[in-house]
């Protein structure tokens, strides 16, 4: 269960460009995410300026009219304040992915025994992978790998197996016959191949060096990503999402 249902502060000065890699602007991608919210009846927290919070669910979406319909309780103590504010920020979760988008001009609509909170279709939404929430463990055979030069021996090029991957970093396996690496070392210009179609470049910080990895003669390196550029962050996030989907299919098969 997630505790962080508050909207993310995109920028202290109201500038969201720093989070551009998390912004979803393509209409079909926004529709797909919102349909997942609707179909899964995922809880949505609407937060208006001044601290008015309303818990709801996305009841329906009208793609032709560009309208969203949220369930509403007319007697909710904060509903009037949210309507008076004329704007709100919606926050919800799809598994370990946090979605955030703005609502403009929300209105309460009554009809045929139902009450709904309606607003315009968001022009953009933000999609944040919860740090460390989901870690993809890779199979040893055909596993992802990372290539970079040894920090203290630039002439030595390393190609290390990736043990697992998350939005916050990855673990690498360092063979026993390779010169050791120390915690705190920065690994620059690392090229990661997650599969035959997925590759990106990144820099990493070596956070800790583990014990011998079971079944192998080597050690586990725990690494954290240095700030990823927009393309790398999106590539990583989509690869993790696809891995989650495959994992769920196996569990339900």
At 2 the pLDDT is 34
169 and 234, same domain (yes or no) = yes
Give pLDDT, residue 4: 47
Q: Is residue 1 part of a domain?
A: no
* pLDDT(132) > 50: no
Domain boundary residue among 106, 129, 152? 129
- Residue 89 shares a structural domain with residue 174: no
pLDDT in tens, 15-37: 445 567 788 888 888 898 898 88
Q: What is the helix (H) or strand (E) element at residue 12, kind and residue range?
A: none
pLDDT digits (tens, 9 = 90+) for 176-210: 888 888 888 999 999 999 888 889 999 999 988 87
**Number of structural domains the chain divides into:** 2
Task: Supply the CATH number for residue 223's domain.
Answer: 2.40.10.220
Structure tokens given for 92: 């919800």
Whether residue 167 sits in one domain with residue 191: yes
Task: Answer yes or no: do 78 and 144 share one domain.
Answer: no
Q: Which two tokens stand for residue 67?
A: 């309208």
Looking at the fold, whether 122 and 220 belong to one and the same domain comes out as: no
Pairing of the two strands 114-120 and 67-71: antiparallel
Report yes or no on 196 lying in a domain: yes
Indicate whether 125 and 153 sit together in one domain.
no
Residues 146 and 182 occupy one common structural domain = yes
> Where residue 136 falls among pLDDT bands split at 50, 70, 90?
very low
Q: Does 75 map to a domain?
A: yes
What range defines the domain where residue 175 resides?
Answer: 136-252
Name the H helices within the chain: 27-39, 79-85, 230-252
Strands 153-165 and 23-24: unpaired
At residue 113 the predicted structure's pLDDT band, cuts being 50, 70 and 90, is low
Q: How many residues does the chain have?
A: 253
Residue 213, pLDDT above cutoff 50: no
Please indicate, yes or no, if residue 8 is contained in any of the structural domains.
no
Please indicate, yes or no, whether residues 27 and 124 belong to a single structural domain of this protein: yes
What tens digit of pLDDT does each residue of 34-52 get? 988 888 888 888 888 877 7
Query: Are 104 and 140 members of one domain?
Result: no
Is it the case that residue 5 has pLDDT exceeding 70?
Answer: no
The pLDDT score that the predictor gives to residue 147 is 94
Same domain, 83 and 148: no
Same domain for 21 and 125? yes
Q: If you average pLDDT over every residue of the chain, what do you get?
A: 79
- Would you say residue 138 has pLDDT above 90? no
Distance, CA of 156 to CA of 39 (rounded, Å): 52
pLDDT tens string 46-98: 888 877 788 888 988 888 888 999 988 888 888 888 889 888 999 888 766 78
Whether 58 and 95 map to the same domain: the answer is yes
Distance (Å, whole) CA 43 – CA 5: 10
CATH number at 106 reads: 2.30.110.10
Alpha helices in 144-187 (DSSP H): none
CA 251 to CA 176: how far, in whole Å? 36
**Domain's final residue, options 113, 129, 145:** 129
pLDDT at 247: 57
Domain boundary among 65, 99, 129: 129
Q: How far apart are the first and last CA of the chain?
A: 25
- Whether 171 maps to a domain, the answer reads yes
């Amino acid at each position: 269960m997630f505790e962080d249902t508050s909207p993310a502060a995109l920028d202290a000065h109201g500038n969201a460009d720093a989070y551009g890699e998390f912004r979803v602007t393509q209409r079909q991608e926004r529709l797909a995410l919102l349909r997942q919210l609707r179909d899964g009846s995922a809880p949505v927290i609407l937060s208006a300026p001044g601290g008015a919070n309303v818990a709801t669910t996305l009841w329906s979406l009208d793609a032709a009219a560009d309208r969203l319909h949220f369930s509403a309780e007319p007697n909710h103590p904060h509903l009037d304040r949210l309507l008076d504010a004329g704007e709100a920020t919606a926050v919800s979760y799809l598994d370990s992915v946090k979605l955030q988008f703005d609502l403009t001009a929300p209105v309460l609509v009554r009809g045929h025994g139902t009450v709904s909170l309606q607003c315009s279709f968001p022009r953009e939404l933000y999609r944040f992978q919860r740090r460390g929430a989901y870690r993809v463990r890779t199979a040893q055979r055909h596993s992802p790998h990372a290539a970079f030069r040894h920090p203290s021996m630039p002439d030595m090029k390393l190609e290390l197996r990736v043990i697992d991957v998350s939005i916050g970093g990855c673990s690498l396996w360092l063979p026993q016959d390779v010169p050791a690496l120390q915690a705190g070392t920065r690994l620059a210009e690392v090229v990661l191949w997650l599969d035959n179609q997925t590759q990106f470049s990144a820099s990493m910080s070596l956070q800790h060096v583990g014990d011998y990895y079971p079944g192998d003669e080597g050690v586990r390196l725990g690494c954290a990503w240095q700030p990823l550029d927009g393309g790398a962050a999106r590539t990583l996030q989509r690869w993790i999402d696809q891995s989650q989907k495959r994992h769920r299919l196996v569990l339900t098969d």
